[in-house]
Amino acid sequence: MNKNKNNIDNLKFESLVNQGKESKFFAELFSEVEALCQTIGIADGQRTLVSFEQLWLPVALNLAAKQDKYDRTYIQGILGGQGLGKTTLCKILQRILSYFGLATAILSIDDLYLTYGERKALQQQDPRLIWRGPPGTHDVALGLEILDRCRKKKNKNTNVRILMPRFDKSAYDGAGDRLKAESISQPDILLFEGWFVGVQPLVEYPAIFPKPIVTPEDREFARDNNQRLQDYLPLWDKLDSLIVLYSEDYHLSQQWRREAEQKMIATGRSGMSDEECDRFVEYFWKALHPDLYIKPLTQTADLVIEIKGDHTLGRIDLK
């Protein structure tokens, strides 16, 4: 590792690479990660240890090694549908990488949503955009500006500042709106996550669309979203690598969404009914169906992580 180029703690890094769980730093780092997991609702210590050993630590070590070859921010894309743990993965990787002295920032594609006013105007143009999320509801130019600043060559004498957008999903009774941007220094690593980050538009449509794309209106909506994906390709071109999280059955997203909403309702907050959850998730399947857009990337992404129905790890394929 090039200590002059980055702030990485070589002693900790090399010890964990070479010795793994036998390293004197393993228990200390795991204790930090376990404490973080407890704060975000992951209480199963044994499952945390398995995930730490098999996934989180190896991915973080791989990222640290990759970013050392760059004189700019390393941009890691993370793709995954609803309930697959993108946010959790990002928080844990950020904690581990900070242990090595690396500054890691997180950007969600949700942070790039158009403002509330802009989306209301957009909905007037296309009433099918009843929820934020599909292609066309984001400020792609803003995303490009952020990634371009991250990709600037680092200079010891210059502190590059980046205004990271943040989005409040609770604003306007859940419609959401942009918050004041957060000013940060150019990070060593940027984790750019989202439900269709890295997804490529289809060149040819299937002879038969998968459910729930069943009506002529559904098919037209799917085609229009496919066309809008073209606008996002300049963003995906800025990614240095892509991680794909996928479930053994994409229908699990509905179950996981229901469970999340039921937990919110149990705490006294408002939440969607099971029927509303199903319609909500199906809306996203109609926009960009997992079988058409995510499944192909499980064959080409740099790292593919399968999540089972009980949220445990399945296949992990690092290319």
- Intervals of the chain under pLDDT 50: 1-5
Rg, C-alpha atoms of the chain: 20
Q: End-to-end alpha-carbon separation of the chain, Å?
A: 22
Give the whole-angstrom CA distance, residue 29 versus residue 197.
29
State pLDDT tens for residues 92-112: 999 999 999 999 999 999 999
Q: Is the peptide bond before 212 cis (omega within 30 degrees of 0)?
A: yes
Give the whole-angstrom CA distance, residue 23 versus residue 262.
42
**Backbone phi, psi, residue 96, to 5°:** -65, -45
Q: What is the pLDDT, as a whole number, of residue 7?
A: 72
- pTM confidence score: 0.94
Give the whole-angstrom CA distance, residue 155 versus residue 30.
33
Q: How many CB atoms lie within 10 A of CB 189?
A: 24
Q: Give which of 75, 170, 164 is closest to 112, Cα–Cα.
A: 164
Q: What is the pLDDT, as a whole number, of residue 6?
A: 58
| Six-digit token string for 98 | 């900070």
Q: What is the pLDDT, as a whole number, of residue 171?
A: 86
Q: Give the β-pairing of 104-108 and 189-194.
A: parallel
CA angle 75–48–267, rounded 5-degree value: 95
Q: What is the pLDDT, as a whole number, of residue 1?
A: 46
The DSSP-derived string for 29-42 is HHHHHHHHHHHTT-
